């Protein structure tokens, strides 16, 4: 028997639309890293995992709407069907929590490609460690919050609930928001010490700080967690389900936009960058390099042994770039005012007069 209706159709439409958007950005990201940069990393694999979990999340919500998710208990009528809707929603919450956590992990590991300052590196690893623990704890707790487990979605079953999951939800939601804003603010500290024009610094830092929008979505989702304690569970939790999916989608979108810079350059300028030079030989700031060992740190957090000042901007030695493509990202390629400049110093002494 189907109890489909109410807010169910709208919920499915929004969630599946976000699946398409999520998949498009994830696909473009993998294409850029694989075929243009040839530098697929852990953050890209985490994005793919997040996409799989996001699809799984949407499937569970869709099944739940078939049993009445988005409708009031009086409209569903049958307690058995109502409990099935609740069960599949609980399963969806497991996938939803994990996809948000994995998304934050993708952002953190992406920043690890950029950061060379040890303090900042340890800060990111600390955030990733806490995120992993909270994600796993919440994903397990949402299912086993009651004994027997069936009581979690069927209150008529005799048993006890050992934890108030709404409190867990608020804690997890608050941490995810804090992680979003931390990862959005960190690039400003990285970029600001570089020897670049202020306009360029702002442009690059803003591109790396788009995660602030994911943080805003996280705030809205955390507020929507109030539906967990509502009497009409499968109706009042619909906003939470939608905003959970939206937060995940926005997280991946914002973290992928800087990565897609090389794809944009290739589409607009072909195999050449905005300055008309070949993308394979154009200068790239070492900020986005990977595969290098951490060395002595300068004020900017970069290894001075791989950097030299050319024309007033930080550059890596040309030989290093021709050995291999050490730059993982091209977000700074073609930025206004950043050009390759070769300086030639000529010294001479006046010849001695012959007697």
At 285-325, the pLDDT tens digits run: 333 434 333 333 333 343 333 333 222 333 334 344 333 34
pLDDT of residue 317: 40
Residue 165: pLDDT band (50, 70, 90) is confident
Q: Is the pLDDT of residue 108 over 70?
A: yes
pLDDT of residue 22: 96
pLDDT of residue 97: 94
Q: What is the largest CA-CA distance in the chain?
A: 118
In a domain, residue 275? The reply is no
At 37-57, the pLDDT tens digits run: 888 899 999 999 999 999 999
pLDDT of residue 92: 95
Question: Across all residues in the chain, what is the average pLDDT?
Answer: 78
Number of domains in the chain: 1
- Partners of 160 in beta bridges: 147
In a domain, residue 340? The reply is no
In a domain, residue 130? The reply is yes
Distance, in Å, from the CA atom of 186 to the CA atom of 120, rounded to the nearest integer, reads: 8
Q: Is the pLDDT of residue 169 over 80?
A: yes
238 contacts 69 by C-beta, under 8 angstroms: yes
In a domain, residue 29? The reply is yes
- Partners of 320 in beta bridges: none
pLDDT of residue 24: 96
Q: Is the pLDDT of residue 125 over 60?
A: yes
In a domain, residue 329? The reply is no
Percent of the chain with pLDDT over 90: 42
* CA distances (Å), origin 110, targets 118, 258, 302: 16, 10, 16
CATH number at residue 85: 1.20.1070
Question: If DSSP codes are grouped into helix, strand and coil, which group holds residue 198?
Answer: helix
233 contacts 69 by C-beta, under 8 angstroms: no
166 contacts 240 by C-beta, under 8 angstroms: no
Structure tokens at 308: 């030299």
Q: What predicted TM-score, i.e. pTM, was given to this entire model?
A: 0.75
Q: What is the 3-state secondary structure (H, E, C) of 258-282?
A: CCCHHHHHHHHHCCECCCCCECCCC
Query: No. of H helices and E strands in the chain?
Result: 12, 4
pLDDT of residue 179: 92
In a domain, residue 346? The reply is no
Note the residue count of the chain. Answer: 355
In a domain, residue 316? The reply is no
pLDDT of residue 315: 37
pLDDT of residue 15: 96
Residue with tokens 């993998």: 30
In a domain, residue 309? The reply is no
Parent domain of 136:
5-263
């Amino acid at each position: 028997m189907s109890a489909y209706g109410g807010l169910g159709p709208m919920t499915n439409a929004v969630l599946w639309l976000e699946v398409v958007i999520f998949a498009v950005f994830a696909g473009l990201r993998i294409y850029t890293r694989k075929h243009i940069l040839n530098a697929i990393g852990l953050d890209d694999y985490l994005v793919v995992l997040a996409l799989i979990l996001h699809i799984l999340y949407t499937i569970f919500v869709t099944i739940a709407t078939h049993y009445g998710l988005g409708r009031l208990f009086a409209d569903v009528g049958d307690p058995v069907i109502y409990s099935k809707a609740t069960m599949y929603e609980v399963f969806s919450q497991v996938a939803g929590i994990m996809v948000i956590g994995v998304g934050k992990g993708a952002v953190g590991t992406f920043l690890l490609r950029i950061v060379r300052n040890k303090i900042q590196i340890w800060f990111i690893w600390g955030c990733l460690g806490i995120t992993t623990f909270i994600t796993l704890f919440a994903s397990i707790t949402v299912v086993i919050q009651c004994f027997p487990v069936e009581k979690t979605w069927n209150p008529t079953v005799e048993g006890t609930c050992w934890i108030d999951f709404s409190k867990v939800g608020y804690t997890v939601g608050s941490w995810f928001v804090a992680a979003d804003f931390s990862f959005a603010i960190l690039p400003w500290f990285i970029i600001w010490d570089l020897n670049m024009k202020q306009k360029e610094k702002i442009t690059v830092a803003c591109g790396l700080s788009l995660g602030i929008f994911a943080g805003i979505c996280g705030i809205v989702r955390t507020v929507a967690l109030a539906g967990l304690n509502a009497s009409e569970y499968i109706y009042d939790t619909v906003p939470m389900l939608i905003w959970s999916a939206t937060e995940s989608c926005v997280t991946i979108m914002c973290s992928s936009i800087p990565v897609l810079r090389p794809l944009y350059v290739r589409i607009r300028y072909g195999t050449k960058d905005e300055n008309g030079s070949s993308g394979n030989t154009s200068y790239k700031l070492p900020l986005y390099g990977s595969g290098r060992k951490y060395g002595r740190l300068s004020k900017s957090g970069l290894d001075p042994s791989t950097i030299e000042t050319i024309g007033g901007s930080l550059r890596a030695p040309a030989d290093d770039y021709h050995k291999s493509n050490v730059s993982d990202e091209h977000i700074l390629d073609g930025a206004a005012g950043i050009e390759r400049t070769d300086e030639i110093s000529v010294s001479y002494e006046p010849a001695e007069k012959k007697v």
